[in-house]
Amino acid sequence: MRMSNTSLWILWALLTLALCGWLGYSLLLSDDNEIFLLGQTSHGHHQIELACTSCHTSAFGGQEVLQDACMNCHGDALKAAQDDHPRSKFTDPRNADRLAEIDARYCIACHREHKPELTGEMGVTRPDDFCFHCHASIAETRPSHAGMEFNTCASAGCHNYHDNTALYEDFLLTHAGQPDLLEKMRVPVRGHHTDENHADALTLADIDMPATLSMDSDIPSQWQQSAHARSGVNCSDCHSNDAADSGVESQQPAWIEKPDHNSCRSCHEQQVSGFLSGMHGMRLAAGLTPMRPALSWKPMRAQAADITLSCNSCHQAHDYNPVRAATESCLGCHADNHSLAYQNSKHAALWQQEISGSADSGSGVSCATCHLPRETHQKNGKDVVRVQHNQNHNLRPVEKMARDVCMHCHGLGFTLDALADPALRANNFQGRPAAHIESIRMAEERLRQQQENRQNRGTGQ
C-alpha cells in the first residue's frame, strides 16, 4: 500500500526533528563536535579544533569576531615582538591602496583555518606570495633582490612578516663575522631563582597532611628534599582549599587528593599562564579535557599515549626535580626524529657533563634549554629568572630561536644557516648546515655601496 502524502510529510518532519535533535545535542551537550569541522585545522590549533567557540565566539559575527579571537590568544605575543605589520598600519587611510590585494587588517587574510593545503612546514597557514603584493618593486631600491622568486621572502633567515627583530640590517652587521661557536656563552644560570620571601625550610616533623591519609612511604622524603620544603611550602599549601572556596561548611579546609595547575598558579602564575598558552596546556585553557600524547599530530611513544598533561606530568608529584623535567620528561613522550636524535647529539653530551658536575652550570643543552628557555625579568628593581613554559613560544617561525636560544652559544651566521636546514634540525644539529643564508652578506654589500656613494658625493664624482 502506498503511503499518503500526509504520511510522507509526517515521516519527513519526524526525521528532520530527529536529525536536528541529534545535531543540537552534538553541538551543545556532546564533547565530540568532529562532525561540524569544515576541514583539518593547522598544527597550532589542532588540539582545540573541537572547542569551536574558542574562535567562533558568536554565530552572528564575521571577520571582527574572528579577529578578536586571534588577538585574545596572540595579541600579547605580537606586542612583545614589536609587530612590523600591526593592524594600525592598514587602518591608516594613507595605506588604503594596500588593501586592494590583501586586507591585512585581519589575521584571516593570510591565516586560514580548515585549509590544510595552505599549511606550511612550520604548521602555519599562509599564502607563499603575500609579500609580493606590496613589495613587487623591491628590486628597484634593493638591487640585491633582483631576480629573486616571489615565494622566497619568508625563507628562514630572511623576512618575518610580524617580527624582524633578529633580521634588521644593523643587527646583521653588528653580528657579522662571528665564529660558529662563541668563546663566552650567555646562557642564564640554572637553578632556583625567586624574588619572594619564604618561611624557613620545613622538615619531616612539620608535615601537615591528615593523620588518617594513606600514602606511599617515599612521598615525605621526596617532599623534604624538594624546593617546596626548602621554601616553606607544606602539604596543605597545594592539597587544600579554604572551606569557603570549596563550598563545604567546615572549619577544616577541603583536602584535594590530586592538585591540578590551579593549585600551582597561586605561586607560579607566569609559569602556569605559559603552560596554558602552549601545546601542553591549551586544551585546558579552552575548557577541554587535558592534552594526551595520543591526541598529538606528532609521533609520540606508544606507552605514553594516555598520559594526561599537567604540571605534575613533567615535574612529578612531590620531588619536582628540574633536571629530570628538562630532558627525561620530554623524551618520555616525544618520538619524532628531532627528539630521538637528541640523546646522541653534542647538545646531550654537554648536558650530561653539566649534570655530572664535570662542566660549569649553564654549559649544557637540554630539551628545556631551547624549548623552555629561562628568561630574565625585572621585578622591584631586581633580576628574576623564570622558565618560559609555553614551549611553542619561539617555534613559529623557527628563526625566533635565534636571539633567545641559539645565539647564547653560536654566532649569527651559523645560527641562521642551521635553522634554515630542515635535515639538520631533524637530526638535532649533528653536522654542518647544508643551507646558507645570504642575509649578512647582502647587508654588508649594501653598507659598502652606501659608503661608496657618500664618498663619491663628497668628491663630486
- Domain of residue 229, residue span: 197-260
298 plus 371 within the same structural domain? yes
3 state SS for the chain? CCCCHHHHHHHHHHHHHHHHHHHHHHHHCCCCCHHHCCCCCCHHHHHHCCCHHHCCCCCCCCHHHHHHHHHHHHHHHHHHCCCCCCHHHHHCHHHHHHHHCCCCCCHHHCCCCCCHHHECCCCCECCCCCCHHHHCCHHHHCHHHCCCCCCCCCCCCCCCCCCCCCCCHHHHHHCCCCCCECCCCCCCCCCCCCCCCCCCCCCHHHCCCCCCCCCCCCHHHHHHCCHHHHCCCCHHHHHEECHHHHCCCCCCCEECCCCCHHHHHCCCHHHHHHHHHCCCCHHHHCCCCCCCHHHCCCCECHHHCCCCCCHHHHHCCCCCCHHHHHCHHHHCCECCHHHHHHCCCHHHHHHHHHHHCCCCCCCCCCHHHHHCCEEEEEECCEEEEEECCCCCCCCCCHHHHHHHCHHHCECHHHHHHHHCCHHHHHCCCCCCCCCCCCHHHHHHHHHHHHHHHHHHHHHCC
Residue 397 within a domain? yes
Q: Stretch 234-243: mean pLDDT, rounded?
A: 80
Of the two residues 200 and 188, the one the predictor is more confident about is 200
Q: How confident is the model at residue 441 (pLDDT cuts 50, 70, 90)?
A: very high
**Grid cell in block for residue 447:** 653598507
Q: How far apart are CA 367 and CA 351, in angstroms?
A: 9
Q: How confident is the model at residue 245 (pLDDT cuts 50, 70, 90)?
A: very low
Of the two residues 282 and 62, the one the predictor is more confident about is 282
326 plus 221 within the same structural domain? no
Residue 6 within a domain? no
279: pLDDT strictly greater than 80:
yes
204 plus 242 within the same structural domain? yes
176 plus 166 within the same structural domain? yes
Q: 10 Å Cβ neighbour count for 58?
A: 12
Intra-chain end-to-end CA distance of the chain, in Å: 103
Residue 4 within a domain? no
Q: Stretch 338-366: mean pLDDT, rounded?
A: 94
Of the two residues 211 and 277, the one the predictor is more confident about is 277
195: pLDDT strictly greater than 60:
no
Q: How confident is the model at residue 10 (pLDDT cuts 50, 70, 90)?
A: confident
pLDDT in tens, 46-83: 888 888 888 888 877 788 999 999 999 899 888 887 78
* Strand 382-387 versus strand 374-379 pairing type: antiparallel
What pLDDT is attached to residue 326?
94
Highest mean pLDDT among 18-27, 285-294, 372-381, 390-399: 285-294
What pLDDT is attached to residue 3?
62
Q: How far apart are CA 229 and CA 202, in angstroms?
A: 5
Q: How confident is the model at residue 244 (pLDDT cuts 50, 70, 90)?
A: very low
Using the structure block, give the residue that is written with the C-alpha cell 626548602: 230
**Grid cell in block for residue 64:** 571582527
What pLDDT is attached to residue 13?
80
402 plus 279 within the same structural domain? yes
421 plus 389 within the same structural domain? no
196: pLDDT strictly greater than 60:
no
Using the structure block, give the residue that is written with the C-alpha cell 526533528: 17
441 plus 319 within the same structural domain? no
194: pLDDT strictly greater than 70:
no
The total of structural domains in the chain comes to 4
| CA of residue 343 relative to chain centroid, distance | 23
What pLDDT is attached to residue 339?
97
272 plus 250 within the same structural domain? no
Residue 150 within a domain? no
**Grid cell in block for residue 210:** 591528615
What pLDDT is attached to residue 191?
45
Put residue 232 in one of left, alpha, beta given phi > 0 → left and psi -120 to 50 → alpha: left
Residue 10 within a domain? no
Closest CA to 273 of 263, 287, 261: 261
Domain end call among 408, 432, 447: 408
223 plus 298 within the same structural domain? no
395 plus 417 within the same structural domain? no
Residue 340 within a domain? yes
Of the two residues 67 and 155, the one the predictor is more confident about is 67
Q: What percent of the chain has pLDDT over 70?
A: 89
Whether 417 and 435 have beta carbons less than 8 Å apart is answered as yes
pLDDT in tens, 302-329: 999 999 999 999 998 888 888 999 999 9
361 plus 295 within the same structural domain? yes
* Mean pLDDT, the chain, integer: 85
pLDDT in tens, 398-439: 888 898 899 999 999 999 999 999 999 999 999 999 989 999
395 plus 385 within the same structural domain? yes
pLDDT in tens, 214-233: 777 788 889 988 889 988 99
